[in-house]
Amino acid sequence: MKRVVCLLFSFASLFGGFLSDTRQYIVVHSASWSSSDALLERYELSGGSWHRVGKVLKVKIGRNGMGWGIGLHGSDVHGSDPRKKEGDGKSPAGIFEIPFAFGQNKIRTKIPFKVMNEHHICVDDSRSKHYNRIVDSRRVEKDYGSFEKMRLRSGLYRYGLFVSHNSPRIPKEGSCIFMHIRRSDGKGTAGCTAMTRKELIKIIKWLDPAKKPLLVQATDDRIGSLLPFTPKK
């Protein structure tokens, strides 16, 4: 009961503050903490009410499911639930900003778009000062031992969205979380949220920074406590 009260207080405080400006939500929810299958829904505030936009999508998340990450939801929500760590194959649960889209070729968007070339990498080495950042490897000191290339031959990053998980860049708490194109074999991700290219582009073009969009991810039994509305069944 104590944990439930803490949760309600935390989210009531958030929704009474800066999160009250949000008018677009991407909502991703799964049946259990261990599932790599999830559903994605979009919601937008219009005429004083929340409306679902488009159809419900089947997406892939971390191959080992989800765990609470570091985002706008605070740190008092974990309890006995799993937590996200570097390299654990889990997608982060919680509330996260989406600062920009990226890809190999520019498309017309409202959200900022960054074109990636063969030199762009995302550093996942916790020891590096560039940890959890996308950088141009030609222009930074190489103090990292591991990284992800942002221009993959597989095409998974042909288009994507950067998720602001672990913005403080706390070592070993997880890095380089994106929304990107799903694998052709249907397997789960290393911690990202994946869908078809067509679905992803539609979402990228829908996002509007003026509406302060947020990504919210959690299990079916937790997702409602993270939102200012009740998702449709």
Tens of pLDDT, residues 14-33: 544 448 899 999 999 999 99
How far CA 177 is from CA of 88, 145, 194, in Å, comes to: 12, 18, 11
- Provide the token pair at 18: 């800066």
User: What is the pLDDT at residue 111?
Assistant: 98
Residue linked to tokens 């919210």: 216
- Provide the token pair at 125: 């080495």
| Average pLDDT value over all residues in the chain | 92
How far, in Å, CA of 77 to CA of 102, rounded?
Answer: 31
Domain segments of the chain as ranges: 2-226
User: What is the pLDDT at residue 232?
Assistant: 75
Tens of pLDDT, residues 96-141: 999 999 999 999 999 999 999 999 999 999 999 999 999 999 999 9
From 217, 228, 126, select the one nearest 178 (Cα to Cα): 217
Q: Are 142 and 78 in contact (CB under 8 A)?
A: no
* Residue 169 scores a pLDDT above 90: yes
